[in-house]
Structure 1
Amino acid sequence: MPCPDQRPALRTPLCDLLGCEVPVLLAGMGGVARAELAAAVARAGGYAMLGMVREDPDLIEAEITAYRAATDRPFAVNVIPSATDPALLQAQISRCLDLGVRAFTFFWDVRPEVIAQVKREGCLVLHQVGTLAAAREAEVAGADVIITQGIEAGGHVHGRTGAFALAEAVLDGARIPVVVSGGITTGHGLAAALMLGAQGVQCGTAFLATKESWAHDYHKARVAAANVDDTVLTDVFVLNWPKGAAVRVLGNSVTAGLDGQLMGHDPATLPRVVIAHDSGQPLLRYSTDSPMRHTSGALEEMALYAGQGVGTIRNVVPAADRLRQIVDEARDCLARPGPRP
């Protein structure tokens, strides 16, 4: 008879709230976290998010339909009120509600009226924040889960505090589940978050470098080849977002050409130069667009999002394999006697 597995199961109350098996959330990466990736993560036991920032409601409906054709697991739709035209945002939310979406993920500034709108419809709200003040605001506004994003995170970074320092501050007083995000790509990070008192982690970069992600193969290859010190925080990739919105990306010729002036760029003064195309749409240098599967052009000059945990990723694998590795590492870590993360 095989020996029973004595390692922790890792199930937290967050799993019961969201309807997943393990406390690992797929970050709602715009363009990257489409139905194929979200369904793969959900089928493997994690919690799925569809990254639908500024997307047309028809595309959102198509992605939701594709997701539901692939799995019946619960999911959330990620939209960002602060970076979306109000009319488009309302069209996005209305379409999601019409389709029976039961959970939303929001990010950047806390908009209590938006939270209240979807809460009235009985939806769960997961709110990603970058500061302690925003965490408190989101909880007061009715959020069900707080995702604390640290400065280590890839993509748009709202705060300037480390992931675990911010999470610890938020946990001191929070009455709702807290999830840690930023630079977490291994089970060691998951174990550390659980030991801290958080109920899970959110991962972006780890799932960007998977077969199912919608990111371009060039972007995935750059992530797999990168080291821990290859990312930079800059606000030069700011077209389509408010002034001062910083992002963490892999260094490239654009960031190298800034001569160390990584911050302080005004989108109103940046030149509009087309450097790539995606499905016939022109993409500008300095825009927030990252290369997707069908993008062609100067991919190296685009925003190649990656968090500081990038140095642990050495290959592109199926999302289920990545999730399984994270979970197995965390269980081994927590089962080990002696000092823990």
Structure 2
Amino acid sequence: MRSTVASVLGLKVSLLQSGMGGVAGSELACAVSEAGAAGCAGGYKLAGGALSALLARLTAGTGRPVGVNLIPEVVGPDALDRQVAQVLNETPGRVHLSFFGMPDDAVLDRVTAAGRHLVVQVGSVPDGIHAAAHGAVVVAQGTEAGGHLLGTSRRDDLVAALRARLPDACLVASGGIGSPQQAARALAAGADGVLLGTAFVVAHQSRAHARFKSAVTAAGARDTVITDVYEIGWPGRRHRVLATTVTAGPRQPAKFIGKTIVEGKPYLVPRFSAAVPTEHTSGRIEEMALYCGQSCGEISEEASAADVVAAFARVLPGAEAITTQERAEHHVG
């Protein structure tokens, strides 16, 4: 009998939060974990003191299972190795490592040898099989997802194909899941849990810019497009975003259109930057990378992270472990 995500990671609900760089800070990750799911902070390109600061806030903010997301193709093997070392050295065993895309086998083996849980997001059957062979929880990302896309298959098709090849693996569905009904559909396709991104972009604890959140809640699935224009900082990878004047006119000059602050350091934001607008960003927000999945059509208002988890808990494995009293306590916290 295969395991649910809740049983593998020690959760109350088989729900993972996407570790979205810039948007998913320690506040969001801790709130999701405190609600009984698996929060995840976006490590992105953070290193040294900046990464240490994030890890310190993360471990201080919750005593429950929580993760750190790293992106192998963005930082390269040497920097990734240093990031992994920091996470392993500076956090307790309840912190799992989540990878967006496949790292080298040595990285996977290092994580499991340290006794940490491993989560790997993939976009193809071969990568899913490879990750499962290393003991990973496999997140199957469909093209309905917001953000950068790892493959070309739709969510349920990829989940079903992976389940056929991996009957005992722990599989998580990702992409286009904005309602409990979509979550139930993913479970019926063979998933053992779901990963949500866009639903948490608009959470109160998200660091997304207010105008970014408003754009997501006002959008429908047809307002999203798959493009490759936001490539500065992350080239060569298609992404699903809300349609903007930049996606409509990719021949515009790549001049600076805003400013942002990351872990206390200021940066200029050029047009076509892969960076998302956060609460610390100013400038032409509507021209920036507004990553958004097709689930936006089912998301009409901002909510607390606990409310998002509670809404999905009733259809996900492990949901019965969340009591009314616990939910009330999470609201107070």
- Does structure 1 retain, via aligned residues, the 8 Å contact 2:102–2:120? no
Q: What one-letter code is carried by the residue in structure 1 that aligns with 2:218?
A: A
Q: What is the TM-score when the length of structure 2 is the normalising length?
A: 0.88
Corresponding residue number in structure 2 for 1:50: 41
**How many Å apart are 1:242 and its aligned residue?**
3.4
Corresponding residue number in structure 1 for 2:242: 250
**How many Å apart are 1:197 and its aligned residue?**
2.7
Count of residue pairs brought into register by the alignment: 309
Structure 1 runs (4+) deviating above 6 angstroms are none
1:146-185 pair list within 5 angstroms: 146-174=138-166, 175-185=168-178
- Uncovered stretches (5+) of structure 2, i.e. residues with no partner: 318-333
Corresponding residue number in structure 2 for 1:207: 200
1:104-137 deviation digits (Å, cap 9, x = unpaired): 1112244212111222212211110001111112
Describe the SS at the equivalent of 1:172: helix
| Range with greater deviation from structure 2 (193-202 or 160-169) | 193-202
For the residues of structure 2 that align with 1:119 and 1:70, how far apart are their CA atoms? 24
- Does structure 2 retain, via aligned residues, the 8 Å contact 1:150–1:164? yes
Describe the SS at the equivalent of 1:229: helix
Q: Say yes or no: does 1:84 pair with 2:66.
A: no
Corresponding residue number in structure 1 for 2:277: 291
2:137 counterpart (121, 125, 145)? 145
Corresponding residue number in structure 1 for 2:293: 307
Describe the SS at the equivalent of 1:137: helix
**Aligned alpha-carbon RMSD (Å):** 1.9
For the residues of structure 1 that align with 2:83 and 2:165, how far apart are their CA atoms? 33
Corresponding residue number in structure 2 for 1:20: 11
**How many Å apart are 1:173 and its aligned residue?**
2.0
**How many Å apart are 1:272 and its aligned residue?**
4.1
Describe the SS at the equivalent of 2:78: helix
**How many Å apart are 1:195 and its aligned residue?**
2.4
Distance change (3 Å), C-alpha of 1:254 and 1:272: closer
1:99 counterpart (81, 84, 90)? 90
- Uncovered stretches (5+) of structure 1, i.e. residues with no partner: 1-11, 260-269, 332-341
- Does structure 1 retain, via aligned residues, the 8 Å contact 2:149–2:239? yes
**How many Å apart are 1:75 and its aligned residue?**
1.1
Distance change (3 Å), C-alpha of 1:13 and 1:144: same
Describe the SS at the equivalent of 2:5: helix
Describe the SS at the equivalent of 2:118: strand
**How many Å apart are 1:271 and its aligned residue?**
5.4
1:217-256 pair list within 5 angstroms: 217-243=210-236, 245-256=237-248
Corresponding residue number in structure 2 for 1:335: none
Q: Say yes or no: does 1:39 pair with 2:30.
A: yes
- Does structure 2 retain, via aligned residues, the 8 Å contact 1:110–1:134? no
Describe the SS at the equivalent of 2:247: helix
Describe the SS at the equivalent of 1:128: strand
Corresponding residue number in structure 1 for 2:56: 65
Describe the SS at the equivalent of 1:278: strand
For the residues of structure 2 that align with 1:47 and 1:16, how far apart are their CA atoms? 12
For the residues of structure 2 that align with 1:101 and 1:288, how far apart are their CA atoms? 31
- Greater relative contact order (Cα < 8 A, sep 6+): 2
For the residues of structure 2 that align with 1:153 and 1:75, how far apart are their CA atoms? 22
Describe the SS at the equivalent of 2:51: helix
1:134-153 deviation digits (Å, cap 9, x = unpaired): 1112223x142100000000
Corresponding residue number in structure 2 for 1:338: none
Corresponding residue number in structure 2 for 1:276: 258
Corresponding residue number in structure 2 for 1:197: 190
